[in-house]
A and B are shown apart, each in its own frame.
Chain A
Amino acid sequence: NAGVTQTPKFRVLKTGQSMTLLCAQDMNHEYMYWYRQDPGMGLRLIHYSVGEGTTAKGEVPDGYNVSRLKKQNFLLGLESAAPSQTSVYFCASERDRGPRTEAFFGQGTRLTVV
């Protein structure tokens, strides 16, 4: 079982460049999330999706866009990267909107913007 897979694992960007982070899950989960983790901080929610074709803003959405064209994939885009977006990004998926269940996380993408 692959679970939640993030691509790429590491990336260095120059300020102003764009990139897309890919998250893929093979558990047929409805909910998917993007979080960022900064040093000494907990994970903070960027955007999330409650199903194919839907997206919603989380706690820190500015500077990011997302798309969920297929149920198994959730893409996070940075149109014009800034040094403040240097962080570790985690994708997560969760079964559905029933009683709360645990979210499954990917291994993370370490992004550095110089």
Chain B
Amino acid sequence: DQQVKQNSPSLSVQEGRISILNCDYTNSMFDYFLWYKKYPAEGPTFLISISSIKDKNEDGRFTVFLNKSAKHLSLHIVPSQPGDSAVYFCAASARGSGGGADGLTFGKGTHLIIQP
């Protein structure tokens, strides 16, 4: 059973507009969430994270929102740029709550395409 779900396999957004990527989770023991960005033939690179004690974290053009009651988080990219075209993975950890192994649980990813 998938514990981290990214229900949109792909998303197309016009350059300059806002990109919103969504992620849902089922495991209430998750206490830390991360977004990774991946280009073809490269490893994932860390983008932004949020602890479960917060509801928002911002870093430049990137903002992550967490709604614990809905078990939902979203990544907002404003404004979207051509270099943002990549696969974005949502990942979750239960390490702090003692609820799981030490690795990350990943969603299947969303392919973001920024159109000029």
Chain A residues at the B interface, C-beta cutoff of 8 Å: 4, 31, 33, 35, 40-45, 48, 50, 56, 58-59, 90, 92, 97, 99-100, 102-108
Please tell me if the beta carbons of B101 and A43 are within 8 angstroms of each other in the complex. Answer: no
Contacts of B106 in A (CB 8 A): 35, 42-44
- Indicate which residue in A97, A100, A102, A108 contacts B43 across the interface (CB closer than 8 Å): A108
Please tell me if the beta carbons of B107 and A42 are within 8 angstroms of each other in the complex. Answer: yes
Query: What is the number of contacts between chain A and chain B, taking CB atoms within 8 Å?
Result: 68
28 contacts between A and B (CB under 8 A): A33-B103, A40-B9, A42-B4, A42-B6, A42-B91, A42-B107, A42-B108, A43-B89, A43-B104, A45-B101, A58-B101, A59-B101, A59-B103, A92-B43, A97-B102, A100-B51, A100-B93, A100-B96, A102-B49, A103-B46, A104-B46, A105-B43, A105-B44, A105-B45, A106-B43, A107-B41, A108-B41, A108-B42
Most chain B CB inside 10 Å of its own CB: which residue of A42, A58, A105, A107: A42
B95 on the A face (CB < 8 A): yes
Chain B residues at the A interface, C-beta cutoff of 8 Å: 4, 6, 9, 31-32, 34, 36, 41-46, 49, 51, 89, 91, 93, 95-96, 101-109
Contacts of A4 in B (CB 8 A): 43
Instruction: Give the dominant DSSP class at B's interface.
Output: loop
- Indicate which residue in A33, A41, A59, A99 contacts B96 across the interface (CB closer than 8 Å): A99
CA of A31 to CA of B46, assembled, Å: 16
CA of A45 to CA of B32, assembled, Å: 17
Please tell me if the beta carbons of B42 and A107 are within 8 angstroms of each other in the complex. Answer: yes
| Besides A35-B103, A103-B46, 6 other A-B contacts (C-beta < 8 A) | A31-B102, A33-B103, A42-B108, A43-B106, A45-B104, A108-B41
